[in-house]
């Protein structure tokens, strides 16, 4: 990718609000919409990079908080960056770690300068400023960096949410000043907050999109709210983001939620759900959700999803997958994770093709029947 192309986002086609695009990064092109498997600590749990290649993942997500604590961003810089360290030569997006820090409610203290927190590993004290979070991500060498923001808890009142919104904007501005456009080959995304108040979401969007980021994200969703509340904010907020920049919905990842997000004009998604649920025996198929631990699958010789092209579905029966899960064999984690992630990468690929062909409304209608709200 030539330096002049890095950060270029091109819309190839739209179908209603749904968008099919291309995002150029220093580590390759990303076709959108896209789902990003979560590799929090430099590993998508139970899978190796070859597995990720085979399920046609084009970008993965790492976490700044966890990678800073171990193995340490200085080590990653010495090793040539996270991609080289883990032998993944495609794009990586790094979350700022803000969500993880703010979930440590008893172990952190927020100020205008930044956030002080205790490590969940050994209790050691650390201080993150917006600038330090960018510097850590520089060392990690990700393709896309997220700025430090405050993710307010569900149920936070208006006064707290408004105060948090200002802090998030101030931190975003400081992040961009520390790493101005054109500084290097890493892209930087800003994050819109505002809780579940329409006017605060609009205010946050106006402030954050006024800063020249390479893309914009919606944060603060999938934090305990109802499905109706989440969809309301998604459908209200997505149109507030620039048309000519990639739009990222953070941490929302049920199959129908992704399609609803695409329907609002969102381009990028991530969630731990596919791999976490895979390890718990919950699998996603073109016919609906499967709980592989159920006795009904004990003698079922069918593939998990006859329409799926993943390694798991091409080689193993539901009966075998159930046996592995019930026996707590480690292979269960790998085979289930391969399938779930392939279902998700395949789902967004189907959505992209449907957008290009002008039939996305039919696709989402089909999945609204399969994965009912």
Task: Provide the Cα torsion 40, 41, 47, 48; round to 10°.
Answer: 130
- Answer positive or negative: Cα dihedral of 136, 142, 143, 147: negative
Q: Smallest Cα–Cα separation from 197: which of 149, 159, 144, 169?
A: 159
* SS3 assignment, position 174: helix
Based on the residue annotation, tell me whether 51 is a catalytic residue of this protein: no
Asked if 237 and 192 touch (Cβ cutoff 8 Å), the reply is: yes
Catalytic residue chosen out of the listed positions 15, 95, 267, 305: 95
Question: Among the residues of the chain, which ranges form H helices?
Answer: 49-54, 64-69, 73-78, 82-86, 98-103, 130-140, 158-178, 198-209, 227-237, 255-264, 273-279, 311-315, 318-326, 330-356, 360-370
- Judge contact between 146 and 93, C-beta under 8 A: yes
187: which 2 tokens?
């892209």
Query: What is the rounded CA–CA span in Å between residue 79 and residue 77?
Result: 5
Among the options 15, 149, 270, 305, which is catalytic? 270
Strands 18-25 and 9-15: antiparallel
**CA 206 – CA 55 distance, rounded (Å):** 38
SS3 108: strand
Catalytic residue status for 270: yes
Cα angle for residues 62, 103, 170 (degrees, 5° grid) = 80
Distance, in Å, from the CA atom of 189 to the CA atom of 175, rounded to the nearest integer, reads: 10
How many whole angstroms separate alpha carbon 34 and alpha carbon 92?
13
Residues 69 and 49 sit within 8 Å (Cβ to Cβ): no
* DSSP bridge pairs for 93: 61, 144
Point out the residues that are catalytic: 95, 270
């Amino acid at each position: 990718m030539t330096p002049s192309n890095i950060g270029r986002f091109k819309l190839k086609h739209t179908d209603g609000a749904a968008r099919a695009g291309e995002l150029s990064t220093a580590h390759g092109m990303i076709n959108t919409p896209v789902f990003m498997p979560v590799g929090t600590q430099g590993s998508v749990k139970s899978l190796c990079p070859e597995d990720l290649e085979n399920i046609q993942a084009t970008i993965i997500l790492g976490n700044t908080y966890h990678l800073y604590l171990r193995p340490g961003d200085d080590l990653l810089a010495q090793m040539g960056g996270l991609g080289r360290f883990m032998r993944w030569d495609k794009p990586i997006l790094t979350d700022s770690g803000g969500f993880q820090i703010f979930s440590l409610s008893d172990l952190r203290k927020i100020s205008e300068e930044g956030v002080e927190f205790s490590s969940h590993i050994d209790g050691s004290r650390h201080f993150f400023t917006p600038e330090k979070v960018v510097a850590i991500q520089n060392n990690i060498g990700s393709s896309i960096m997220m700025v430090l923001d405050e993710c307010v808890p569900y149920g936070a009142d208006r006064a707290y949410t408004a105060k948090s919104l200002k802090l998030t904007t101030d931190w975003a501005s400081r992040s961009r000043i520390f790493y101005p456009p054109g500084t290097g080959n890493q892209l930087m995304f800003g994050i819109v907050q505002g809780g579940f108040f329409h006017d605060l979401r609009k205010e946050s969007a106006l402030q954050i999109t006024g800063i020249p980021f390479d893309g914009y994200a919606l944060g603060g969703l999938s934090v305990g709210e109802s499905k109706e509340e989440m969809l309301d904010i998604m459908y209200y907020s997505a149109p507030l983001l620039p048309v000519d920049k990639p739009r990222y919905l953070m941490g929302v990842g049920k199959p129908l939620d992704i399609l609803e997000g695409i329907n609002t004009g969102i381009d990028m998604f991530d969630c731990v759900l596919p791999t976490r649920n895979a390890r718990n025996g919950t699998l996603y198929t073109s016919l609906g959700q499967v709980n592989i631990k159920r006795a009904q699958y004990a003698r079922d010789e069918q593939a998990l999803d006859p329409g799926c092209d993943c390694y798991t579905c091409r080689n193993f029966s539901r009966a075998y997958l159930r046996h592995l899960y019930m026996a707590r064999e480690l292979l269960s984690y790998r085979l289930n994770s391969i399938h779930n992630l392939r279902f998700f990468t395949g789902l967004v690929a189907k959505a992209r093709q449907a957008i290009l062909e002008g039939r996305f409304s039919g696709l989402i209608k089909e999945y609204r029947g399969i994965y009912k709200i």
